[in-house]
Amino acid sequence: MKLNILKFPLFIFISLLIISCSDDDDSTTTTTADPYTLSGNVTADKTLTAGNIWTLKGRVSVVDGATLTIEAGTVIKATAGTGADASTLIIARGGKIDAQGTASSPIVMTSVSDNIQADGTYPSSGAALGVGTRGLWGGLLVLGKASCSFKNDVTELQIEGIPVSDTNGLYGGSDDADNSGTISYVSIRHGGAEIGEGNEINGLTLGGVGSGTTIDNVEVIANVDDGIEFFGGTVDASNLLVWGQGDDGIDIDQAYSGTITNAMVVLTDASDHAFEIDGPEGSSAGSFTINGATIIGATDDCSPTGVDGEMADYRKGATGATNNIYALNFTEGKDVELDASADAATYTAGTLTFANWDIQYPLADDDSVCAGEAINKIFDDKVDASTFEADAAGWAEIVTAKKADAGADESAFDWTFYKQ
């Protein structure tokens, strides 16, 4: 073959130029084939931009020193995964999340099976997943360094739902002002994958989260396990809505010592309690506060449809205050319980208190009022070791309509998928 000598140097020059440009680009290329897929550990600051569908694949942890920023209006869809590898987003101790949606552009975390588009809308040809569709992925876990009350007074523990081999699942410490970032206007849908027998992930898990963290305007829809669970910590949270969870709406454990303001729990036929509130496991007592909540039972023509569907259960020596609650649509037998003698004792001691509860009986299909129980039956000390039942008339009453200032301010939830 005849070689073209004149063209050969130009070929070499172009080849070297291409190689040089490729080398320069190495610092900015992603390590995944799809730049919009999250997997493994997030070890450096990363931003999820709006206008794209981001895929969460497997157990993803934002580790110590890294911040995951999620722009308003961003849609994240999680693959299912299996067992311990169910797709889950963990903000580990020392890591941060900056998820600041808005009422008009909330951040949505859902399943790849959801038809939601990158702009947060649904195509005319594809309906949204219903509230009965649960367990398609894991959930969101935020783990901090704030104090918790653990058995044997250990200072840290592995969060439920994450294998003990993954140290990103540790939570607890002594920094009550710890800051794990911001979660605002975020909708978490169709999660709660079971990683083992009876071991599911909550929609939003808050383990040892400190008061420096901001949590407001959060919606959890159709989770297999609890909607939102607080494991110790000191973070305050406001404007929380849980709809159609498979277990409890809002669950408190391990001496959570923050304040929950303006919450709404809507039960369906799969749901257990609106509130399940446990006391400390160690020597540190802590004290929670719930101020202003509306809880709605699952009833059809005066008959309960829920698995258990009760208003609230206080257990294991719970300590704190539950104030200004509006309970609607709970049938006879769906009560507020002091579960055992430890809870009767904290009530008697004045460390477990109740104020301003309004109970409204459900309506039958013909709009007549369903039969209901008296106040001293709705509030039940299971061991009859306190004056809880007799005292209830002092802080609770039966109403026929919602008072203007009772329960949650539902206008705060106009942005949610539940309301729309």
| Structure confidence by residue, pLDDT tens digits, 362-418 | 999 999 999 999 999 999 999 999 999 999 999 999 999 999 999 999 999 999 999
Provide, for the chain, the percentages of residues in helix, strand and coil under a 3-state DSSP scheme, each rounded to the nearest 5.
10, 35, 55
* pLDDT over 70 at 197, yes or no: no
Q: So what's the pLDDT on residue 6?
A: 38
- Residue 196 — very low, low, confident or very high, per pLDDT cuts 50/70/90? low
Q: Is the dihedral of CA 160, 191, 228, 218 positive or negative?
A: positive
Q: So what's the pLDDT on residue 277?
A: 98
Q: So what's the pLDDT on residue 15?
A: 40
Longest dimension (CA), the chain: 107
> What would the mean pLDDT of 296-318 be, rounded to a whole number?
92
Q: Which residues of 153-182 are buried (b: 16+ CB within 10 A; e: fewer)?
A: eeebbbbbbbeeeeebbbbbbebbebbbbb
Closest CA to 293 of 146, 419, 387, 405: 405
The share of the chain scoring above pLDDT 70, in percent, equals: 91
Which is more confident, 28 or 36?
36
- Residue 33 — very low, low, confident or very high, per pLDDT cuts 50/70/90? low
- Within 10 angstroms of residue 8's Cβ, the number of other Cβ atoms is 10
Question: Using one digit for the tens of pLDDT, what is the confidence trace for 279-303?
Answer: 999 999 999 999 999 999 999 999 9
The token duo for 386 is: 């306190």
Question: Using one digit for the tens of pLDDT, what is the confidence trace for 325-353?
Answer: 999 999 988 999 999 999 999 999 999 99
The share of the chain scoring above pLDDT 90, in percent, equals: 83
The token duo for 55 is: 């895929």
- The pairing of beta strand 204-207 with beta strand 303-304: unpaired
What Å distances lie between residue 318 and 205, 229, 282, 286, CA to CA?
19, 15, 12, 9
What Å distances lie between residue 224 and 87, 118, 127, CA to CA?
14, 25, 21
